[in-house]
Structure 1
Amino acid sequence: MLDARLRVQGPDHPDTLKAWGQLVYWTGVGGDTAGALAGFRELLDAQLRVLGPDHPDTLTTRVKLADWAGRARDTTGDHRVP
């Protein structure tokens, strides 16, 4: 689904970003916690650029990033959740 959205709508379309977030979430649920954490970091960068820091989807991604960082027991401090 993400591939189709990227092809048709482009990487900066809000629906593409939502599909990306769903893929990242299910990556984590599927057992790849580190992949989810990396994916949410990358998604957050894109959302900050496209949607801005106060957009509800950006704020939701910050929460999910913090959640997956906790699940990964990430102690690096690189959570990008100011």
Structure 2
Amino acid sequence: ATSDKERSDYNHYLGWAYYDMGEYSKALSSYEQSLEIRKIALLPNHPDLASSYGNIGNVYKDMGEYSKALSSHERSLEIRKIALPPNHPDLAASYNNIGNVYRSMGEYSKALSSYERSLEIRKIALPPNHPDLAASYNNVGLVYNNMGEYSKALSS
């Protein structure tokens, strides 16, 4: 890979492969290398930076490092709020990722708030049979189930 874009994309996809194999430290290293290249090569609020921060956040979440995960996902969301229209599906993905971290932490009211924001955007941005919309309904239901609010879980 010769260009900055090619090098950052290579590391990004390598990170994905490591992540899918559960090799989180290698995934994190690859994602961070991609991010460093992107920080130099791209404008400060480029959507690719948000993707890098989001992927880094997912790795930290799965490693149980929740404060680092939240920090990464919140940075991703900040960039997306600046770079994208208000109902872009990538914004919904950021809110969903933040909800995943809070749910893993057992902070269900915060998770619910994030999941509901994700769902609101996805209802507007996606067709009614889109799998991400179904995932949002499922996540809202899972949190209600975690909270012991079973009737709300069933209606989600």
Normalising by structure 2, report the TM-score.
0.46
Q: Can you give the 5+ residue segments of structure 2 that lack an aligned partner in the other structure? A: 1-75
Distance 1:38 1:20, change over 3 A: closer
Q: Can you give the 5+ residue segments of structure 1 that lack an aligned partner in the other structure? A: none
1:29-57 per-position Cα deviation (integer Å, ceiling 9, x unaligned): 12311111232223212211221321111
Instruction: Provide the residue aligned with 1:56 in structure 2.
Output: 131
Q: Which has the higher helix share?
A: 2
Task: Report the alpha carbon displacement of residue 69 of structure 1 after superposing the two structures with TM.
Answer: 0.8
Aligned length: 81
Q: Supply the RMSD in Å over aligned alpha carbons.
A: 2.0
Normalising by structure 1, report the TM-score.
0.80
Are the aligned partners of 1:41 and 1:80 in contact in 2 as well (CA < 8 Å)?
no
Are the aligned partners of 1:27 and 1:36 in contact in 2 as well (CA < 8 Å)?
yes
Are the aligned partners of 2:92 and 2:122 in contact in 1 as well (CA < 8 Å)?
yes
Larger gyration radius, structure 1 or structure 2: 2
RCO higher in 1 or 2 (8 Å CA, sep ≥ 6)?
Answer: 1
